[in-house]
Structures are given as structure tokens and as C-alpha cells.
């Protein structure tokens, strides 16, 4: 537990500073997380004897980061199309060393890690730093609540084959934690729409659980406990940020489409 606390004590101020300043500092933080996560996936893929083009995956990730920096979410569709064609060309010129399964798995990894660009995109919304804070705090509270409630009260397995340590009680606790975090935001920021925010808090808890289970499935498939060991007490980047790969896109589109565009603030 002590390494987890120390890691949080060191890492959280860095994240808060990047979110506060936004722009290039936040983009750089996102890039660091994404590139290190790709490295963890490469090591996991090696256990499956997959020959993946790590440089192409890094280039695809950089393309996603550049597109959101220059064009926000309007650049995502074009960036994804270019990445797809890059992998197809790599398949043609690397054949037969690079097969279809490896191409599919490489595209999957690039797209999966690429979801982290939504952390940056959240900051570009009106009052963006509030929405990034909402996503971060809601996700952290959900993960922490799920961990402790599952540890002390968990009895019924949630997904025995994917993650034997996760329980239904822990999952319920995680959703309850994110809902309570949203409830706190309603009172801290009274100008935020109450009902949509509470709904988002509930959905965020579900998304966090799903994100955690997806990464557990990756690790179970390759036979490892942790994706990496770069963060003491937490494991790898994916072990720490897996939930955000689901919660960040959820919060971004929920806020953009259901709060901002329908003018709930009025």
C-alpha cells in the first residue's frame, strides 16, 4: 500500500499541473502515457510471438495527438483513416513477414491506446479543466472504491475467467463512488446541470469497470499479472490508466452532445 500512496503523491501533482495549464503540457503528458502504454503492449504481444511494427504504432499515435492538437475532434476521422492506410501499406511492403493477424492486433493496440487523446480533448471544451477534473476524480474514486469494497466485502465474483479478484460488490462500490463524486461536483460547482451530471457520474462508474475488465482480458490472454512495473504499487501505465481509456471518451461526448449542445446551462 505504501508504494501506491507514494506514487500517487508524486504523480497527482504532475497531472493536476498539466490539466491546469492545458495545451502543450497536457498534450505532452498524454503522449508520455500513450507511448509508454504502447511499449507495454509490445512486451505483452511478444509473449504471443506477434511481430508488430512498433515504429508504425508510435507514428499512428503521434498522428492522433497531432490531429487533436491542430483540429480537436474534427481531425480524428482523417487521422484514423490515414493510420488505417499506413498499416495496409506496411502490410503490403512487409509481406510475408507481417501477417494479417499482426496487422489487426497492431491496429487494435494503436486504436486502444489512442483513446487517451480524449483526456486532451476534454480540456478543449468550455470549462474544460472542470470536465477533466470530473473525469479524473470520478475515475479515481470509482477505482479506489471498487478496490477497497471488493477487498473487504467482496464475495461474489464479477468475471472469474478474466479477473478472479474482481467482485460484484466491488463493482457496485465503484459505481457508487463515481456517483458520489458527481454529487460532490454538483455542490462545488452549482452552475453545472444537476441531473445530467449525476447520470454521467453513474455511467462513468460503469465505464471505469468496463475499462478495467478490458485490460484484464488483455493481460489474461498473454498470461501476465501487470502490464508493466513503471509505477511502484500500481504496475504499468495501462494498469493505472486503463479505466480512463473508457471514461474520457464517455465524459467528452456526453458533455459535448448532451450538456453543451442542448444548452442545459441556460
pLDDT in tens, 209-219: 999 999 988 88
Distance CA 68, CA 186 (A): 29
pLDDT at 264: 45
pLDDT-derived band of residue 151, with 50, 70 and 90 as boundaries? confident
pLDDT at 235: 76
pLDDT at 265: 44
Q: In whole numbers, what is the pLDDT of the chain averaged over residues?
A: 90
Strands (E), 13-82: none
Strands (E), 129-223: 157-159, 163-167
Name the more confident of 181 and 10: 181
Name the more confident of 237 and 159: 237
Q: Which residues pair with 163 in a beta bridge?
A: 159
- pTM of the predicted model over 0.85: yes
Average pLDDT, stretch 103-128?
Answer: 96
> Is pLDDT at 63 greater than 50 in this prediction?
yes
pLDDT-derived band of residue 234, with 50, 70 and 90 as boundaries? low
Pick from 50-54, 184-188, 227-231, 247-251 the range whose average pLDDT is largest: 247-251
Distance CA 203, CA 206 (A): 5
Amino acid at each position: 500500500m505504501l508504494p501506491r500512496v507514494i506514487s500517487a503523491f508524486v504523480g497527482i501533482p504532475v497531472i493536476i499541473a498539466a490539466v491546469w495549464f492545458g495545451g502543450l503540457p497536457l498534450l505532452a503528458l498524454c503522449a508520455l502515457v500513450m507511448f509508454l502504454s504502447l511499449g507495454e503492449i509490445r512486451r505483452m504481444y511478444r509473449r504471443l510471438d506477434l511481430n508488430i511494427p512498433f515504429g508504425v504504432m508510435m507514428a499512428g499515435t503521434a498522428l492522433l495527438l497531432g490531429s487533436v492538437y491542430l483540429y480537436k475532434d474534427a481531425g480524428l476521422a482523417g487521422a484514423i483513416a490515414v493510420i488505417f492506410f499506413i498499416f495496409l501499406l506496411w502490410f503490403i511492403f512487409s509481406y510475408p513477414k507481417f501477417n494479417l493477424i499482426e496487422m489487426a492486433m497492431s491496429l487494435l493496440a494503436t486504436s486502444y491506446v489512442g483513446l487517451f487523446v480524449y483526456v486532451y480533448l476534454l480540456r478543449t471544451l468550455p470549462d474544460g479543466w472542470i470536465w477533466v477534473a470530473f473525469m479524473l476524480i470520478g475515475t479515481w474514486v470509482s477505482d479506489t472504491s471498487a478496490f477497497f469494497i471488493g477487498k473487504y466485502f467482496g464475495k461474489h465474483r464479477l468475471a472469474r475467467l478474466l479477473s478472479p479478484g474482481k467482485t460484484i460488490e466491488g463493482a457496485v462500490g465503484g459505481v457508487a463512488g463515481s456517483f458520489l463524486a458527481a454529487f460532490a461536483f454538483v455542490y462545488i460547482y452549482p452552475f453545472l446541470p444537476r441531473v445530467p451530471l449525476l447520470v454521467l457520474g453513474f455511467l462513468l462508474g460503469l465505464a471505469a469497470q468496463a475499462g478495467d475488465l478490458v485490460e484484464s482480458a488483455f493481460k489474461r490472454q498473454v498470461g501476465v499479472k501487470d502490464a508493466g512495473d513503471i509505477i511502484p504499487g500500481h504496475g504499468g501505465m495501462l494498469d493505472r490508466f486503463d479505466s480512463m481509456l473508457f471514461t474520457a471518451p464517455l465524459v467528452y461526448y456526453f458533455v459535448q452532445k448532451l450538456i453543451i449542445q442542448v444548452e442545459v446551462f441556460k
